[in-house]
Amino acid sequence: MNHTTERTLSDEQIAQYERDGFLVARDMLPVEEVAALREHFMAMHARGVPGYYEPPRDDEGGDILRRYPRIMHPHRVDELSKDYMLDARLESVLRDLFGEEPLAAQIMLYVKPPGARGQALHQDDLYLRTAPGDCMAAWVPLDDADEENGGLFVVPGSHKTEIQCPHLADLTRSFTTEEVDVPAGMEPVLVELKAGDVLFFNGSVIHGSYPNTSSQRFRRAFICHYVGHSTTEMSAGYYPLHTFAGETLERGRAEGGGVCGTEAADALHQARRGELALP
């Protein structure tokens, strides 16, 4: 896809992002395009992505997400996923918000059916560990997303706080094991989105979702992560980075366990595998 250097956002929009840590771009993708994407991703989900994601399993133990697990890094095997990760419409907003050339790190697909658990509050940069600065997410709903079907909550201004070390989440409500607390004086707010809107947010913003309590509505979304061109290091698992001109590159690899230390990072990995309960 063609890349762009034209400015898209107003001074007011950039100021809002700097203040709150997030910005919604309404109607970025037409409804027909979203419908085609939804069909493509669900077909991919049904057949599996060799090497990255196996076909759905039975919902053993009543966990519907066993039938709808998330897909990580589909851009490595699926050209359409890569095309949307490098879409010029996203690039123009990212460039304005970063203040420099953006580089693409990854894409993920989340399928949240009725009755599914959410994802506990967390900060993306605990995992991407970009330096200097933060990563940025572009969260693209493929269905209208609101509180009933498990839409996204963000904590405005939390990008100005430190990266937190997580504790064990409530696993009856979250499919992920880690959760961070909301700083004093702040609170999560729901960001209602229509299919085709795009939510951009800073990698230090605390965000997450709650269970899908609807009876029939899915909440599907694909999420892309980006870093600024001036990034000097990040977690190795997100390489290679991609320029919007189609080149690939790597920077330094973040070592150790990050701000929470190697021991804490090891405990998180064990907890994810079910070997250890976090304190």
Whether the pLDDT of residue 50 is over 90: the answer is: no
List, for residues 162-174, the tens digit of each pLDDT value: 999 999 999 999 9
Q: Which of 222, 217, 182 has its CA nearest to residue 199? A: 222
Cβ–Cβ < 8 Å for 222, 142 = yes
What's the whole-model pTM score?
Answer: 0.91
Quick: pLDDT tens for 56-83. 666 656 788 888 888 999 999 999 999 9
Fold of the CATH domain 11-272: Jelly Rolls (2.60.120)
Domain ranges of the chain: 11-272
Give the pLDDT of residue 8.
87
Q: What is the pairing mode between strands 252-253 and 233-234?
A: parallel
* Mean pLDDT for the stretch of residues 2-23: 86
**pLDDT tens-digit series, residues 130-153:** 999 999 999 999 999 999 999 999
User: What percentage of the chain reaches a pLDDT higher than 70?
Assistant: 86
Residue 130: CB partners within 8 Å, gap ≥ 6? 203, 227, 231, 233, 234
Whether the pLDDT of residue 44 is over 80: the answer is: yes
Residue 263: pLDDT band with limits 50, 70, 90: low
CA terminus-to-terminus distance, the chain:
47
